[in-house]
Amino acid sequence: MDICSYESAYFDHPVYRISISVVYSASSLIATTLNFLILVSIWKTPSLHNPSFMLIANLALSDFINGTIGEPFMVCTNYVALKKQKHVFCYIWKIARAVTYCTASVSLQTLALISIDRLLAVKLLNRYRSVVTLKRVAKLLIIWWIGSLCLANLIFLNVKIENLKHLLIMIEVFMFVLLSTVSFCYTMAFFSLRKITSSISPDSSSDPNTTRPNIDVSKYRKSLTTMIVVFTVIMISYLPYVCIALATAVSFDLAKPEDNQFLYQLFLGSELVMVSNSSLNPLIYLWRMGELREVVKTTVKKILRLEHSANNQ
């Protein structure tokens, strides 16, 4: 039996499905709008064509696809389940999971890359631009997109309920490695930044005998807070899924479907939190990155002017 057939046969909670569908719908609207603006803004601004903003653009792309395709299909899955349309439920379920898990995978991988990028920026300082290049980042992102697409489709188009525990364990290992990478890189970058900023006083630049790295200290101090915010949101978004997926892998009993109801509710809820990260990412980066925020404001003004001109014609 497929996982979707099991869910269709044994999980029937109308109020719960309606509730998570409302959240998915709101998240979809935010993710689609904001990530589209970020993508267009970065594309139209040559000064942002660098490795760091390429990573943010890739994150926005995966979140945009999730907002425009993945989350609407999650809503459709719940709608079809409420209407008892079992003949189409599995088709929509598989599309929804393949898209959301693929984009969530790319998002988490990109967030891990961003943490590595920040650590390299702090450690390498003036050598950063020669080591981290657009070409190298682009190659890595293409490989990860292809891998995520193949893996997500292979898993969710063929997996059986009997193999659920093995599937969850595989996902757990993958997420654990990426979250560990994020934790390590942000921790190392945070303490390195603190060491740099605390060792460079405002008066040190007036001392000709003082050797200091060529960095903008105020900018890097602001980065400390940004790192804490980004790291916290990543953990809030992904750790619930990791914990509940682990509990499901350990406690799920195929022979007792009635005992799995509450655990499956928690599992679907943790999926919602993880997938909704696509609407949180653009909010964080627009809030914390002034340069990106100003560029997006300019893009919005241009769009509004074009719309106004079209209405006047």
Mean pLDDT over 93-108 rounds to: 91
Under DSSP, the state recorded for 202 is T
Inter-CA distances, 199 with 121, 128, 140, Å: 18, 21, 35
Q: Are 193 and 224 in contact (CB under 8 A)?
A: yes
Domain 3-197+216-311 in CATH 1.20.1070.10? yes
Q: Can you say how many angstroms the Cα of residue 258 is from the centroid of all Cα atoms in its chain?
A: 33
Q: Are 39 and 64 in contact (CB under 8 A)?
A: yes
Cα 51–Cα 108–Cα 73 angle in degrees, nearest 5: 115
Q: Are 102 and 110 in contact (CB under 8 A)?
A: no
Q: Is the pLDDT of residue 302 over 70?
A: yes
pLDDT given at position 15: 92
Residue 38 is which amino acid?
A: I
As given in the structure block, the two tokens for residue 154 are 């292979």
Residue 187 is which amino acid?
A: T
pLDDT given at position 90: 86
Q: Is the pLDDT of residue 137 over 90?
A: yes
3-state secondary structure of 2: strand
Q: Are 108 and 178 in contact (CB under 8 A)?
A: yes
Q: Select the highest-mean-pLDDT range: 114-123, 197-206, 219-228.
A: 114-123
pTM above 0.85, yes or no: yes
Mean pLDDT over 2-16 rounds to: 78
CA distance 30 to 26: 6
Q: Domain segments of the chain: what residues?
A: 3-197+216-311
pLDDT given at position 216: 61
In the chain, the percentage of residues whose pLDDT exceeds 70 is 86
pLDDT given at position 156: 66
pLDDT given at position 22: 97
Read off the pLDDT band of 133 (50, 70, 90): very high
Which residues touch 280 (CB under 8 Å, ≥6 apart)? 233, 237
CA distance 106 to 181: 15
Residue 248 is which amino acid?
A: T
CA distance 196 to 144: 33
Residue 301 is which amino acid?
A: K
Which residues touch 243 (CB under 8 Å, ≥6 apart)? 270
pLDDT given at position 207: 53
pLDDT given at position 159: 66
| More reliable by pLDDT, 311 or 107 | 107
CA distance 101 to 274: 9
Q: How far apart are the first and last CA of the chain?
A: 59
pLDDT given at position 305: 83
Which residues on neighbouring strands pair with residue 242, listed in sequence order? Answer: none
